[in-house]
């Protein structure tokens, strides 16, 4: 190691982290990466998410053109100035359709996230508060739900309750609350032994008051965060269901419906029908993943070597 | 304590036996709960099995005939009686009749399960090999261009559902570069010989493998980075061992232990991936049958496949835990 950066060469003083051998790390790369894992990822994720949501809201609105407008003179056209994302098999503009589809997907996903958060928070708080054997039984039930692959359970629910929007939302909302429940339960377990809860109890507060007034407000931040993290899962799930023909009805074109229609078009060489909607899908997931990574690093600091992703 | 006097390997075997027994004991109620849940979901759903029984004929059949059929099928009994009858059938090996395939459910599963196992095994092998190689190279040269490429591709793939990858593969291999078949188990009308199946399994398996790769590769990478910081690795370096020995013989084995658990616990996602990949590639496995069954509300098949998958997931997690116990003497077995 010829050149050590100032950071690595500095000896350990006081409370600072102990000096570690630099291993095969290239000098300099660590610091650049570290700042990227910090604030940079959060900003990039937030900006990306805001841009995508604004696009999903504004583009179909400003586009003026009906995103379902069929034009048989412009069937399966490659991307051009008039149609930035090209057109699909019946000549509908993919730019408008993709962003409208993203809007539909995000709306469904957000509803699912809200449902999962509410169910998960109440369930987790109840389980953590009761403790003992009720807690153990409730958590075994969570294991049971988790043992069935979520997509499979979703397929079962959608198949039995027929492909309405509500069935899709229910099928995702009823399968994804388990993560929230786990997070909230462990949070409640740790909060229960804090002095302010003891103070409330010794002040004569009832169990319900302790839960509603002291515990639930404190678990809101982690619950909200885990609901944000559900968002990409929910988008993913909805898209997969729609792609299989079990999701949203065709007139509510989500990204999954558009991709399902692209299945035939791809065989004719129309790559843009698949590429652009899936790029929007990946961008949404990555934006949320950026926020998630920032949060994870903040709440669970690990060895820096592991953080430098 | 008598156990302290036993040979360590004997004690180990006993620990593993207790773990397996305990987990199997827990698995039985879990499967029972899932079965009850799925049945109640169906019983309380707006779907009426009588339409399935009659098909379109329900509109021309008289009320008396419909009522008669209801009575015969036992649909007028209480939900719990029906549940008991269905569960009794499951336990005695009678899985019911699949309406979408017009065969007993057992036959459908027996015919299709081997193809799914083949696809998943090859897919997982592809995934494990690729992620081990890429993850080790990335961690070895942390911050280098390989590392950056691997992490960037890994994070991007995390955001792409398997069916997008499958569509991409079809776009390439059906149109631009037609060297591999993109659909089915064999060429149209051909017998399923080893050669035919081997050619057809390549694309679905590789797509399934790559779709599962990001989690594995990022895990191998971060776990190896952690292991490289450990004291015994520093010790190995200090003794002047060559870099290759340090990374592959000293750091990698400790880094791979959690990998086994991660692999076992990813089984639900593998199943999900298989559903999508089999559908896109028209692969005749049980995962594609899930979609067929769902589209025609074929409850007996759907329920049997759900229970089968649940059992497989629980078994996967158990196998992973046993593997860790066998591989790592430091881990103690607890529930």
Phi then psi for residue A2, to 5 deg, are: -70, -65
In a mutagenesis test of the B interface, which of A36, A159, A178 is the best target, namely the one with the most B β-carbons within 10 Å? A159
Phi then psi for residue A239, to 5 deg, are: -60, -45
Q: Could you state, in chain order, the average pLDDT of each consecutive group of 10 residues for chain A (309 residues)?
A: 44 46 45 54 85 84 66 73 74 82 88 90 87 85 82 85 80 85 86 85 85 82 80 85 83 82 77 85 84 70 42
pLDDT digits (tens, 9 = 90+) for B309-318: 888 888 888 8
- Contact at CB, B291 and A155, closer than 8 angstroms: yes
The confidence score (pLDDT) of residue A67 equals: 59
A148, A162, A309 ranked by CB distance to B309: nearest: A148
The confidence score (pLDDT) of residue A233 equals: 83
* Chain A residue closest in CA terms to B27: A144
Answer yes or no: are the C-beta atoms of A244 and A259 closer than 8 Å: no
Phi then psi for residue B147, to 5 deg, are: -60, -50
The confidence score (pLDDT) of residue A297 equals: 66
**CA B151/CA B134 separation, integer angstroms:** 10
**E strand segments, chain B:** 97-98, 103-104
The confidence score (pLDDT) of residue A300 equals: 56
Which residue would you say has higher pLDDT here, B183 or A111? A111
**CA B330/CA B171 separation, integer angstroms:** 49
Dihedral angle computed from the Cα positions of residues B2, B6, B12 and B17, in that order, rounded to the nearest 10 degrees: -60
User: DSSP states of B17-34 as a string?
Assistant: HHHHHHHHHHHHHHHHHH
**CA B66/CA B73 separation, integer angstroms:** 10
- Contact at CB, B294 and A159, closer than 8 angstroms: yes
- Contact at CB, B228 and A259, closer than 8 angstroms: no
In a mutagenesis test of the B interface, which of A30, A147, A234 is the best target, namely the one with the most B β-carbons within 10 Å? A147
Nearest to B101 by CA among B91, B110, B114, B90: B110
* Chain A residue closest in CA terms to B313: A147
Phi then psi for residue B104, to 5 deg, are: -60, 145
- Chain A residues in contact with B26 (beta carbon < 8 A): 140
Residue B220, token pair as written in the block: 């191998």
Q: What are the residues whose beta carbons fall under 8 Å from the beta carbon of A175, sequence distance 6 or more?
A: A145, A150, A153, A154, A157, A237
**CA A129/CA A135 separation, integer angstroms:** 8
The confidence score (pLDDT) of residue A5 equals: 45
- Contact at CB, B226 and A303, closer than 8 angstroms: yes
The confidence score (pLDDT) of residue A38 equals: 61
Strand partners, B97: B104
The confidence score (pLDDT) of residue B126 equals: 93
- Chain B residues in contact with A101 (beta carbon < 8 A): none
Task: Please return the burial class of B309, using the count of CB atoms within 10 Å of its CB with bins 0-12, 13-18 and 19+.
Answer: buried
B160-174 average pLDDT score: 83
In terms of average pLDDT, the best of A78-92, B58-72, B206-220 is B206-220
- Contact at CB, A266 and B143, closer than 8 angstroms: no
The confidence score (pLDDT) of residue B129 equals: 93
Q: Measure B145 CA to nearest chain A CA, in Å.
A: 11
Answer yes or no: are the C-beta atoms of A152 and B279 closer than 8 Å: no
Of A184-198, B226-240, B297-311, B320-334, the range with the lowest mean pLDDT is: B320-334
Which ipTM score applies to this complex? 0.80
> How many helices and strands (H and E) does chain A possess?
14, 0
Q: Which residue has the tokens 């158990």?
A: B318
Helix (H, G, I), strand (E, B) or coil at B240: coil
Residue A308, token pair as written in the block: 């430098």
**A and B: number of Cβ contacts within 8 A:** 172
**CA A247/CA A243 separation, integer angstroms:** 7
Give Cα separations from A61 to A64, A101, A105, A273 (angstroms): 6, 13, 16, 21
pLDDT digits (tens, 9 = 90+) for B242-255: 888 888 888 888 88
pLDDT digits (tens, 9 = 90+) for B103-162: 888 888 888 888 889 999 999 999 999 999 999 888 888 778 888 888 888 888 877 888
Mean pLDDT of all residues belonging to chain B: 82
DSSP state of B97: E
A23, A236, A271 ranked by CB distance to B171: nearest: A271
């Amino acid at each position: 190691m010829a050149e050590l950066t100032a950071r690595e060469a500095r000896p350990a003083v006081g409370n600072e982290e102990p000096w570690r051998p630099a291993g095969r790390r290239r000098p300099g790369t660590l610091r650049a990466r570290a700042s990227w894992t910090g604030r940079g990822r959060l900003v990039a994720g937030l900006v990306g998410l805001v841009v995508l949501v604004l696009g999903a809201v504004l583009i179909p609105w400003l586009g003026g053109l009906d995103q379902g407008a069929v034009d048989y003179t412009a069937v399966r056209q490659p991307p051009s100035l008039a149609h930035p994302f090209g057109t699909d098999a019946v000549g509908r503009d993919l730019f408008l359709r993709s962003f409208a589809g993203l809007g539909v997907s995000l709306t469904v996903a957000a509803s699912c996230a809200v449902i999962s958060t509410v169910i998960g928070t109440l369930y987790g708080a109840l389980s953590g508060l009761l403790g003992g054997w009720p807690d153990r039984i409730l958590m075994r039930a969570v294991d049971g739900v988790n043992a069935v692959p979520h997509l499979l359970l979703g397929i079962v629910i959608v198949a039995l309750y027929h492909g309405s929007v509500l069935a899709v939302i229910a099928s995702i909302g009823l399968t994804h609350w388990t993560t929230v429940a786990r997070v909230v339960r462990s949070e409640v377990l740790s909060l229960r032994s804090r002095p302010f809860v003891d103070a409330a109890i010794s002040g004569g507060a009832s169990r319900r008051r302790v839960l509603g007034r002291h515990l639930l407000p404190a678990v809101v931040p982690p619950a909200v965060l885990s609901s944000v993290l559900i968002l990409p899962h929910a988008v993913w799930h909805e898209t997969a269901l729609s792609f299989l023909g079990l999701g949203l009805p065709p007139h509510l074109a989500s990204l999954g419906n558009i991709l399902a229609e692209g299945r035939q078009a791809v065989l004719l060489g129309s790559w843009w029908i698949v590429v652009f909607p899936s790029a929007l899908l990946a961008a949404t997931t990555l934006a949320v993943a950026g926020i998630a990574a920032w949060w994870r690093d903040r709440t669970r600091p690990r060895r820096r070597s592991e953080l430098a992703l | 304590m008598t156990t302290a006097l036993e040979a360590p390997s004997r004690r180990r075997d006993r620990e593993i036996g207790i773990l397996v027994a305990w987990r199997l004991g827990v698995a039985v109620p879990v499967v029972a709960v899932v079965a009850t849940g799925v049945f109640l979901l169906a019983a309380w759903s707006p779907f009426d099995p009588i339409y399935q029984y009659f098909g379109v004929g329900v509109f021309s059949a008289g009320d008396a005939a419909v009522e008669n059929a209801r009575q015969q099928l036992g649909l007028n009994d209480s939900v719990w009686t029906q549940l008991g009858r269905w569960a009794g059938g499951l336990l005695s090996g009678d899985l019911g009749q699949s309406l979408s395939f017009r065969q007993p459910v057992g036959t459908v599963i027996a015919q299709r399960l081997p193809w799914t196992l083949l696809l998943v095994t090859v897919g997982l092998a592809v995934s494990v090999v690729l992620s081990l190689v890429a993850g080790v190279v990335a961690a070895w040269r942390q911050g280098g261009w390989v590392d950056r490429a691997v992490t960037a591709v890994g994070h991007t793939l995390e955001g792409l559902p398997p069916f997008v990858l499958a569509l991409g593969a079809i776009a390439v291999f059906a149109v631009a570069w037609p060297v591999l078949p993109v659909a089915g188990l064999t060429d149209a009308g051909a017998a399923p010989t080893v050669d035919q199946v081997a050619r057809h399994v390549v694309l679905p398996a590789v797509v399934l493998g790559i779709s599962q790769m990001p989690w594995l590769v990022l895990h191998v990478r971060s776990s190896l980075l952690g292991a490289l910081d450990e004291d015994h690795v520093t010790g190995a370096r200090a003794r002047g061992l060559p870099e290759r020995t340090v990374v592959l013989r000293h750091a990698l084995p400790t880094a791979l232990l959690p990998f086994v658990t991660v692999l076992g616990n990813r089984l639900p996602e593998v199943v999900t991936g298989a559903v999508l990949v089999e559908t896109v590639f028209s692969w005749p496995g049980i995962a594609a049958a899930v979609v067929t069954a769902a589209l025609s509300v074929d409850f007996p098949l759907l329920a049997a496949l759900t229970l089968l998958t649940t059992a497989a997931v629980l078994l996967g997690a158990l196998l992973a835990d046993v593997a860790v116990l066998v591989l790592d003497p430091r881990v103690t077995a607890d529930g």
